[in-house]
Amino acid sequence: MTSPLNVVPKTEPVETGVRDVEGIASGLADVLADTYRLIFKTHAYHWNVTGPTFYSVHKLTEEQYEDMFTAADELAERIRSLGQLAPMQMADIMERSRVQDPKGVLSAGEMVEDLAADHEKLAHRLHGLVDLVEGRKDPVTEDLATERSAFHEQAAWMLRALAAH
């Protein structure tokens, strides 16, 4: 008898009519990687921001990383719903992500600008995911990508508004 703890996750065929599940899952994994990196960066800035805008940046970043943490779960579960495996190694997250670590310690204004730029990168990547699923009978991923791109576009706008002089 096999122990339930010996069951290994694997890809599985999905019979929902979605075409090119591997390609779509890969696109979702890229977005998940960016999301995960941006969660960490946002949380790190949340912890370390100082100065007159501390409270505003601290509260805004908290709202944003909490939203992205929930989204990371939704993205991974969508990958699994397509019968594919979600990323399981930090090296995979790092390799797939376009979000980069900051160079040195940033001011509050530089943190805000850096996060805004990363949100724009992620929105752009999500627009690409919408294009990817077009014609592949996957309205669920398209809706998820559209919803997430709206969040990242709004997050970039709010951060830039906070940094406006």
Tens digits of residue pLDDT in 66-123: 999 999 999 999 999 999 999 999 999 999 999 999 999 999 999 999 999 999 999 9
Residue predicted with more confidence, 60 or 12: 60
pLDDT reported for residue 163 = 84
Dihedral over Cα of 152, 20, 86, 144: its sign = positive
Tokens of 69: 């943490």
How would residue 1 be classed by pLDDT, with cut points 50, 70 and 90? low
Confidence label for 4 from pLDDT (cuts 50, 70 and 90): confident
Give the Cα separation of 100 and 41 in Å (integer): 9
54 CB contacts (<8 Å, ≥6 apart)?
Answer: 108
Confidence of residue 165 (pLDDT cuts 50, 70, 90): low
**Residue 47 pLDDT exceeds 90:** yes
At residue 3, the pLDDT reads 83
**How high is the mean pLDDT of the chain?**
95
Q: In the predicted model, what is the mean pLDDT of residues 16-38?
A: 96
Nearest to 75 by CA among 156, 124, 143: 143
* Tens digits of residue pLDDT in 32-45: 999 999 999 999 99
21: nearest Cα among 132, 147, 146 = 132
- Which domains are assigned to the chain? 18-98+105-163 (1.20.1260.10)
